[in-house]
Amino acid sequence: MNESSFALILDLDLEAEAARLYSESLPYHNFRHILVTIAAADKLLARCEEEGIRVEPKVVYYALLFHDAGYHERSP
């Protein structure tokens, strides 16, 4: 496990609260999308660490958890 891994900072209680802000009826912008995005970002964090690029994993994690919170598709 690398130093930048989200595994070191996961907050399942916060994730449960964040999940309440997403609608599972949406094909995108739902909480499954957030979990997939977090998994992809974890790989990017590892790559950044390999390249010596400093990243604040907590900031990235919190931003990803809430980046689509409250999103609702509008009907035309």
Q: How many structural domains compose the chain? A: 1
* 12 C-beta neighbours (distance < 10 Å), count: 7
Q: Is the pLDDT of residue 11 over 50?
A: yes
Say if 44 falls within a structural domain. yes
Say if 71 falls within a structural domain. no
Q: Is the pLDDT of residue 76 over 60?
A: no
Residue 13, both tokens? 């209680």
Q: Which domain holds residue 33?
A: 6-66
What pLDDT does 75 receive? 46
What pLDDT does 24 receive? 84
CA dist 39 to 35, 45, 72, 76, Å? Answer: 6, 10, 23, 33
Summarised one tens digit per residue, pLDDT across range 17-70 is: 999 988 888 888 889 999 999 999 999 999 999 999 999 999 999 999 998 887
Taking each helix axis from N to C end, the angle separating 31-50 and 12-19, rounded to the nearest 10 degrees, works out to: 140
